[in-house]
A and B are shown apart, each in its own frame.
Chain A
Amino acid sequence: MHPVVKLVAQRLVLSTLLLLAASVLIFAGTTILPGDVAQSILGQSATPESLANLREELGMNDPAVTRYFNWLFAALQGDLGTALTNGRDIAESVGQRLSNTLFLAFWAAIISVPLAILLGLVAVRYKDRWPDKLISAVTLASISIPEFLIGYLLMFFLAVQLGWFPSIAMINDDMGLLQKLQSIALPVMVLTLVVLAHMMRMTRAAILNVMQSAYVETAELKGLSGFQVIYRHAFPNAIAPIVNVVMINLAYLVVGVVVIEVVFVYPGMGQYLVDHVSKRDVPVVQACGLIFAAVYIFLNMIADIVSILANPRLRHPK
């Protein structure tokens, strides 16, 4: 077997095992959550009778191991169960929220990833001169400000004062693509500012590292222009660390944007998960946990595979 195929297959199997392990952790974690679903659903208005009635109705008396395997097999068949709190089908509600989250993450990524890499390349080209310093200063400043504050600032100036964009990014199926894009403009801007610095700095560092190599010097001696050296010779060899950082940031855009969702009232997964955690709606928490874990593991697997494929020593073994 070709070693690359073997390595990729290895990654796939490892990722699947990791996901399985994550599912055990998620299940165990949600089982030992303190508090009680029935109490949380009824809140302050719970009476002992209504509590007892609800607890029985939810069937919370089976042993944990049985419940784990029932849950796992159902989940494998795409059946995530129904939410305890409102009786809705989880797969359906999560599907809507997940597609919203992916929509936001997609547009944030489309803008931030190329922008970060481009800025990284520019920074390398003008290393230690003013463009490099300006780019680093701006992106590092924006990553250092808490994201909700950037959100509020943009909201105040661009939505309340200038009225260019809506302050709440509520999207729904009745809206056309352009309307949706206008709606999510502010959160996309904030997310871009938040993830830019990390990717830009890594691109800069990785390429600078390669720039020390002898073959880059050769390329320069051949008379290639600065950008051509970076683009044709340095960048392909720096791709592995860059892809890793890009994937981590993409994963963050999917699973870590709950603050932005709250600030801009965006109907994504984060808010959905938080609502259900506070109500102890265990099946929903488990489903969201599983999806988040899958996204994380999948993106990291992609990063690994791209690194393998980008490495000529692995592609052309002796």
Chain B
Amino acid sequence: MNDQLDYLSGRVTAGKMTRREFMGKAAALGVSAAVASTMFAKAAKAADPVKGGTFRQGIQGGESTNTQDPALYASDVPIAGGFHWGETLVEVDNKGQLNGLVAESWEGSDDAKTWRFKIRQGIEFSNGKSVTAEDVKRTIERHTNEDSKSGALGIVQGIESMKVDGDVIELSLESGNADMPYLIADYHLIIQPDGGFDNPNAAIGTGAYVLESDEPGVRMQFVRNPNYWALDKYAHYDESEILVLNDATARTAALQSGQVDAISRVEPKIAQLLARAPNVTVNNVSGRGHYVFIAHVDTAPFDSNELRLALKYAINREEMVDKILRGYGGLGNDIPVNAAYPLFDDTIPQRAHDLEKAKEHYAKSGHDGSPIILRTADGAFPGAVDAAALFQQSAQAAGIPLEIKREPNDGYWSEVWNVQPFCASYWSGRPVQDQMYTTAYLSTADWNDTRWKRPEFDELMISARAETDEAKRKEIYSKMGRMLNEEGGLICPMFNDFIDAVSTSVQGYEGDPNGELMYWKAPKKTWKTA
């Protein structure tokens, strides 16, 4: 009986059971109401954050070439580090809602062309300087700058002018964009004193922690920021550490032996095994990342929509989710967005694996039967080579002569992706549909990796941006989704889950579709039981 009570108490502590449920189940075990009530209070109290301790994360994706300059962030470790010491104006939380960070409140004009962000009162950078609207302006300037190397250049390019008005920064856009606050939450746009112009690597921001030591590609150490503006709610650990663990086995061993409290990138094939280990919880969260095969719609033979449809019907999505993702993922529908996005229309019919239809469309395409080359590499996405082999087999069953050409990982992103007409790739997703479409499906986008250039699609996209009526926006996005589903060059078999694992001593964990380990905010939002 004690074990069962302990288990129930644990559920309460983890926030997974209400008082009513607990009392009912305790009574069933023969515990009197008074005793059960005290037990519930005790268990629920344990759910209150505890301050103190050190939090260690073992994260994949760090190199000795990394810097602390947010403009150059491209892999997980630097981003996780940036979210320790810095904050963006706003953040998108795990339910898709916007929370103010450096900005206290914000409002857009009716045409969504002018956006005003009010800076939070009385907050300071970790060097003791007060945060002003001018700092925000300078930060955005640094990313927009003509000689900027920033990964956020595409986002901030649309800003025509900026104006500081007391503690308010006003952004005027070239054309209306109702998603502006979502875009400004991009991880590159961490607010730095004077925009980081004097030293972009200084790692000075308004974050919950302060960088103490940094060995690129090895580890970063942080201590709690004593002046953090939300100390009452967040930043429970005295210290936080990131260890760069690029090897999957090293990560799981480190978690199992207690050297780290949390790890990223648990491989699907070992997730279930790891979950059996004591003191470890494996979490999977469906996200916006997707694994894709992309065809250039302007290059023969992929310029024939019949052939594209044949390939789309030939691919066996369920098998891929099963075998490549081991069930840790969802079906793709040849659209780069899914239900994890706000305003997604889930009534768009799911395309099924249908060899008859594939044969039919292939016959209609009039393809001469010469091999269709699909390029892939281990680095295209985890399991990309196997996925290509599965695709080849199901395509051959429909009589489509798909041939795999394996490319080296080295140089895949410069020589194959966005260069060759048909290859495997991945997208990590964006917070809103507009950003995903703008990045890769606008006629003028640099990363239009399917060469999808349709003026009517562009027009829909632009009109959706300025549309402030959500129902109407949803309708526009639905139309765009259906267009891509029917005619696009994107063959998207699956959306991959994020799988991470934390020690059972870590409390307050909540999955976040934006990224792994609570989108790198676990050090800020979780705590440890003693």
Contact = CB atoms under 8 A, between A and B. Distances in A.
A167 B254 contact: yes
A96 B254 CA distance: 24
Contacts of B153: 47, 49-50
Given A86-B65, A87-B67, A167 B411 contact: no
B456 interface: no
Interface residues of A, number: 48
Interface stretch (B118-126, B239-247, B309-317, B515-523): B239-247
A265 B410 contact: no
B74 to A, nearest CB: 5
A215 interface: no
B472 interface: no
Contact of A50 (B150, B247, B257): B150
B253 A160 contact: yes
B257 A45 contact: no
Contacts of B383: none
Contacts, number: 118
Contact of A275 (B65, B149, B257, B415): B65
B257 A160 contact: yes
Interface stretch (A6-14, A17-25, A32-40): A32-40
Interface stretch (B45-53, B129-137, B216-224): B216-224
B250 A166 contact: no
| Among A96, A156, A170, A172, residue most surrounded by chain B Cβ atoms (within 10 Å) | A170
Given A53-B149, A167-B259, A265-B247, A86 B410 contact: no
Given A42-B149, A86-B66, 9 more contacts: A35-B410, A85-B65, A87-B201, A156-B253, A167-B253, A168-B259, A170-B218, A262-B247, A265-B246
A163 B257 contact: yes
A124 B411 CA distance: 52
B65 A83 contact: yes
Closest 6 CB pairs of A and B: A85-B65, A45-B151, A167-B253, A275-B63, A267-B218, A86-B67
B64 A265 contact: no
Nearest to A57: B147
Nearest to A51: B149
Interface string A58-85: 0000000000000000000000000101
Contacts of B146: 49, 53
Interface stretch (A130-138, A240-248, A276-284): A276-284
B97 interface: no
Nearest to A35: B411
The DSSP consensus for interface residues of chain B is loop
Interface in A271-300: 271-272, 275-276, 278-279, 281
A279 B75 CA distance: 13
B446 interface: yes
Interface string A168-206: 101010000000000000000000000000000000000
B497 to A, nearest CB: 21
A42 B217 contact: no
Interface in B58-80: 58, 63-67, 72, 74
B414 A40 contact: yes
Contacts of A85: 65, 67
Interface in B399-419: 410-411, 413-415, 417
Contact of A155 (B58, B154, B216, B253): B253
Contacts of B150: 50
B109 interface: no
B54 interface: no
A124 to B, nearest CB: 39
Contact of A265 (B245, B256, B411): B245
B111 interface: no
B217 A267 contact: yes
B127 interface: no
Contacts of B414: 35-36, 39-40
A88 interface: yes
B350 interface: no
Contacts of A262: 246-247, 250
A171 to B, nearest CB: 10
B149 A166 contact: no
Contacts of A54: 149
B149 A279 contact: no
A43 interface: yes
A49 B147 CA distance: 8
Contacts of A235: none
A309 B250 CA distance: 45
Contacts of B72: 41-42
A163 B247 CA distance: 20
Given A43-B74, A48-B446, A265-B250, A167 B149 contact: no
A265 B245 CA distance: 6
A13 B244 CA distance: 43
B396 interface: no
B215 interface: yes
B426 to A, nearest CB: 10
A114 B438 CA distance: 65
A205 to B, nearest CB: 36
Contacts of B67: 85-87
A159 interface: yes
B250 A168 contact: yes
B72 to A, nearest CB: 8
A106 interface: no
A212 interface: no
Contacts of A16: none
A27 interface: no
B253 A275 contact: no
B18 interface: no
Interface string B145-182: 01111110110000000000000000000000000000
Contacts of B215: 96, 172, 267
A44 interface: yes
Nearest to A39: B414
A262 B218 CA distance: 11
Nearest to A97: B64
A152 interface: yes
A78 B254 CA distance: 38
Nearest to B213: A172
5 contacts: A45-B151, A86-B216, A155-B253, A172-B219, A263-B247
Contacts of A41: 65, 72
Contact of A272 (B217, B243, B246): B217
Interface string B505-521: 00000000000000000
A86 B244 CA distance: 17
A265 B243 contact: yes
A44 B379 CA distance: 12
